[in-house]
A and B are shown apart, each in its own frame.
Chain A
């Protein structure tokens, strides 16, 4: 809220009230959006480390051709769990955590709309995380199907598969409740004067993401429930022998799966739309068209799903339809990149860690977007489907896109959360190490894919050795760099310099009008927005 004056922020109560429980019970029973946001973020980081260790097991095995460390079956299980844990356990909860912490602060609300449901949305996550990780130790091991859970394999696996299905049910419930909460909070709890079109972009991206989640999580739940009944209750939805069709599963899965990509990407866009203006000291270029374009992206994300299925046997007309539609959806997405670049144009830029991560996002997400365009071409995808090119593509989108934007968010808001500044030098180290090692790990995978190396394979032909070794070295470097991140965050909490209420010169928005650390209760009285112009 540029040039917006706020009254009432000072009335926020500092510190704790006497009437809420201490110790572990505080966290179990809490309905406070800040506590819950914090728990989401720690859960997400824990799952990130678990999924990261799994990734490193994969990369270690792929350092050399032949089998060195793990059995092929176990390799497949690691692939599946890594994918599921990173998507549902690390990235999505991270952005829900940001939403919990920041949306009430950004719109001047005292808390989330359904505070108790919020507690439940969070506490569903740990059981799901435990189910997924524990499934490694049951007879037959974890699901080995890949995160896409395609039948017929997913109909044949052992109890680990049932645990994965149950985990997805629980994660889905958590996401649906979380999004109902976010949507309701945004629509009903905005401070007087904060109209929708004055709302910070992060809230807009989450409003639209919330609707996407409510639309597609039930679809995924339906798909895995059909798997479950095929497995145990004699149905044949996906079983050709009983008159079903395994390809049906792929359609349902990707009808969820493609919007899911935007569920991950849109909140990341939101974060970047705050960080870049703050460090360019200019308002976001094209706020309103950005809002509309994000809504348009969300709508079109429902009509392109079968670009993941070019090789399953589709009529040419179908392939052409999904190819054209996919190429067209790239237009509004690509224009966002121009929005951010135009925001920086002639701004007075500085490059603190959040800005570095936002720029890293911008640069690498664009590469991921371009390789996505390459893959959207049916004739090309028929060659590249299920090769390392695809692995490179989606890691550019998810790691360099979503994860880098999450890091930007953490560095940007950490002073608000903890009341301390992080160590800028170490933050910059974290960025450069992540940026360089990320590219060492994933750029060579484009070449591997183009040369024909299949994905989800523990062994490979000799000619792929060099690039795989480079990739593994990069992956271990990237993984180790994240321990530096943990150290930085802990150091900030313990001993960082005291942070001002608004530590970033160019930052705008209500969240910077409350003290740092943000008091336990904020905006119990709605703030009064007095200037009609300008957005976050």
Chain B
């Protein structure tokens, strides 16, 4: 695929995708930041970011539980 172009955009893209997903978990966000993020994002990026965030979310809760429950 068009690897070169993708590589250039990718770094910012993933961060923005993560930001989009995190704000989705909260539920509302400012229109301007949303427009910024969405402009360059492809759906697949958001989906991957979503799965990553959910996995991180699960791990974070587990870590917290370990912290609380092992004392």
Q: Which residues of A contact B (CB under 8 A)?
A: 196-197, 286, 288-289, 292-293, 295-296, 299-300, 302-303, 316-317, 320-321, 324-325, 328, 331-332, 334-336, 338-339
A73 to B24 Cα, complex, angstroms: 47
Most buried by A among B20, B23, B24, B26: B24
Contact A317 B69, beta carbon cutoff 8 Å: yes
B16 CB to nearest chain A CB (Å): 13
A257 CB to nearest chain B CB (Å): 19
Contact B58 A335, beta carbon cutoff 8 Å: no
Contact A320 B27, beta carbon cutoff 8 Å: no
Contact with A along B18-45 (1 / 0, CB 8 A): 0011011111110100100010000100
- Minimum CB distance partner of B64 in chain A: A324
Provide the residues of chain B in CB contact with A317, threshold 8 Å: 62, 65-66, 69
Complex interface residues of chain B between 42 and 71 (CB less than 8 A to chain A): 43, 50-51, 54, 57-58, 61-62, 64-66, 68-69
Contact B28 A325, beta carbon cutoff 8 Å: no
Contact B28 A295, beta carbon cutoff 8 Å: no
Contact A335 B65, beta carbon cutoff 8 Å: no
A430 CB to nearest chain B CB (Å): 33
Provide the residues of chain A in CB contact with B69, threshold 8 Å: 316-317, 320
A506 to B62 Cα, complex, angstroms: 47
A259 CB to nearest chain B CB (Å): 13
Provide the residues of chain B in CB contact with A338, threshold 8 Å: 27-28
Across the interface, A324 reaches (CB within 8 A) one of B27, B34, B43, B61, namely B61
The 9 A-B residue pairs with the shortest CB-CB distance in the complex, in nearest-first order: A335-B27, A292-B24, A296-B24, A320-B65, A332-B27, A293-B27, A317-B69, A289-B28, A296-B25
A289 CB to nearest chain B CB (Å): 5
A258 CB to nearest chain B CB (Å): 14
Q: Given A289-B28, A303-B54, A197–B38 Cβ distance below 8 Å?
A: yes
Across the interface, B54 reaches (CB within 8 A) one of A288, A293, A300, A321, namely A300
Across the interface, B68 reaches (CB within 8 A) one of A302, A320, A336, namely A320
The secondary structure that dominates the B interface is helix
Contact B28 A299, beta carbon cutoff 8 Å: no
B47 CB to nearest chain A CB (Å): 9
A196 to B28 Cα, complex, angstroms: 19
Across the interface, B27 reaches (CB within 8 A) one of A196, A197, A325, A331, namely A331
- Minimum CB distance partner of B66 in chain A: A317
A290 CB to nearest chain B CB (Å): 8
A335 to B50 Cα, complex, angstroms: 19
What are 16 residue pairs bridging A and B, where the CB atoms are less than 8 Å apart in the complex?
Answer: A197-B38, A289-B24, A292-B23, A292-B24, A293-B25, A295-B50, A299-B54, A300-B25, A302-B54, A320-B68, A321-B65, A324-B61, A325-B57, A332-B25, A332-B26, A336-B27
A317 to B61 Cα, complex, angstroms: 10
Q: Interface size bucket, B side? A: 20 to 34
A332 to B24 Cα, complex, angstroms: 7
- Minimum CB distance partner of A292 in chain B: B24
The secondary structure that dominates the A interface is helix
Contact B34 A289, beta carbon cutoff 8 Å: yes
Provide the residues of chain B in CB contact with A320, threshold 8 Å: 65, 68-69
Contact A295 B24, beta carbon cutoff 8 Å: yes
Across the interface, A321 reaches (CB within 8 A) one of B25, B28, B31, B61, namely B61
- Minimum CB distance partner of B54 in chain A: A299
A335 to B23 Cα, complex, angstroms: 12
Provide the residues of chain B in CB contact with A332, threshold 8 Å: 24-27
A338 to B69 Cα, complex, angstroms: 34
Contact A335 B26, beta carbon cutoff 8 Å: yes
Provide the residues of chain B in CB contact with A299, threshold 8 Å: 50-51, 54
Q: Given A197-B38, A316-B69, A325–B25 Cβ distance below 8 Å?
A: no
Contact A331 B26, beta carbon cutoff 8 Å: yes
A197 to B37 Cα, complex, angstroms: 14
A286 to B23 Cα, complex, angstroms: 12
Contact A296 B21, beta carbon cutoff 8 Å: yes
- Minimum CB distance partner of B62 in chain A: A321
- Minimum CB distance partner of A286 in chain B: B28
Q: Given A292-B23, A320-B69, A339–B61 Cβ distance below 8 Å?
A: no
B58 CB to nearest chain A CB (Å): 6
Provide the residues of chain B in CB contact with A325, threshold 8 Å: 57-58, 61
- Minimum CB distance partner of A315 in chain B: B69
Contact B29 A289, beta carbon cutoff 8 Å: yes
Contact A288 B34, beta carbon cutoff 8 Å: yes
- Minimum CB distance partner of A289 in chain B: B28
A342 to B37 Cα, complex, angstroms: 24
Provide the residues of chain B in CB contact with A197, threshold 8 Å: 38
Known: A288-B38, A293-B24, A317-B62. 15 other contacts (CB 8 A): A289-B28, A293-B25, A295-B50, A296-B25, A303-B54, A303-B57, A303-B58, A321-B65, A325-B58, A325-B61, A328-B57, A332-B24, A335-B28, A336-B27, A338-B28
- Minimum CB distance partner of B68 in chain A: A320
